[in-house]
Structures are given as structure tokens and as C-alpha cells.
Structure 1
Amino acid sequence: DKSLYNNVLYTTHYSPDDTSNAKVQDFIKSYKKANKSADPNTFTALAYDSVYMMAQAIEKAGKNATRESVRNAISGMSFEGVTGNFTLDKKGSPKKSVIVLELKDGKPQYKTTIQPSK
């Protein structure tokens, strides 16, 4: 009985039902267009954000970016992506928002996004 799991909450990085983040629906449309209507999953969303976060760091590092200047650009960086908003500390560890999903009849439903405390 799938209803036994109703009201179970859990966290994740990404939900296609997240309407609080405008980037999510654009990401899904672009991904489906490029991948013959396949649905992106959490790992796809994380990879997408990783690439764009690195691009942001390279741009910030400048025209003649070096390995060191890119590393320095990542330190303390804030990024808004498909998987949420986060800030990296000086060592590169993220302080990140999380998606909360709730099971309803055995299917995950977007519930809310929790932002990290300042």
C-alpha cells in the first residue's frame, strides 16, 4: 500500500516540480530538447550546475586565468543554479539550499526549499 508512506519528507538537490526556482523549468526544456524528450534527474542537474559554476569562476578569474586564479575565484563564490543557491567558503565547501519532497501515494511531490542560514 503506497499510502503507508504518505507524509514522509526527505531532502534532495533537485525537483522538476520546483516552481520557486525559475531556472528549473528552463533547464528541463533545454535538456529535453537536446536529449529526445528524456527527463533530467538529480545527477544531471548537479552536473549542469557544476559546469556553470566553473564557467562563472573562470570568467571571474579573467582573460588570462590560471589554475590559482580560478581556485581563488571559487573561494567565497555565490552561485544560483538549478539545484539551488549556495555560497562556497574559503576551502570550497558549500552552504547550500535544499529541496524538501513529500511522498504522496508513493510519488515524490515538491514541498518547499529551505535556504541556509546566513
Structure 2
Amino acid sequence: MKFDKPIIIIGFPILIGIVLLLFYSSILGVKNNYYVQITESAHIINKDNHKYVYSLNGFNKDGRGKLLTFSVDEPYKKGTLVVVSRTNEGYIGDVHVIKENQLPSSIQKKFAVNNF
């Protein structure tokens, strides 16, 4: 077969590139932002340090939902919109309060902004 060597010569570096890309993206912790609406009260996890935890559903900009558990220093009012950064490994990063107009248009209908 005449094409065996060219396929191996071209295919092997492509395969190595894909493996390296997957490896380094997991090490670098590719971040995804999830948009969450506070719909219930936080649970107190440490009275001395005033840590509060939420377990709520959030959505990425493509509308894919995920249950997120995150902690904050002060509880939020019901109806507050926040964006939570999450890496592929599951690390929950910073939590930031946002306004309704900062929600991606593709997921705005998933949130009942005026119901609180």
C-alpha cells in the first residue's frame, strides 16, 4: 500500500497534538462561566467565619445546566443573579453579582428575574 507512510507521517503528529491539547487544557483549568439565580436561602457552614453555601442550578452561555455548590461570605437576597466560574476539574472560582442585562441573550428566558 502506497499510502501507509504518508498517513502515519501526517496522522501521528495530529494525534499527539490532540492529546497535548486535552492534557494542557485540563492542567490550565479551562474556565466556564455559569449563570445562577438565587432562589433559596443559603445554608450556614461556619458561624464563626460567616461562610454561607448555596447548591443551585446554573446555566452556561449555551444553556447547558449544572448543579453548582459554592460558598460566599455574605448571603444574597432571593432573585439575585450571579456568575460563577467553574473549571473542568470542578473547582468553583469567584462569584460575582450581575444585572439582568449582563445575562447572555441565549439564556435570559431561563431566569425569572421579576418574580422576586
After TM superposition, the score normalised by the length of structure 1 is 0.29
Give the structure with higher Rg (CA): 2
Answer 1 or 2: which has greater helix percent: 1
Higher relative contact order (CA 8 A, sep 6+): 1
Answer 1 or 2: which has greater strand percent: 2
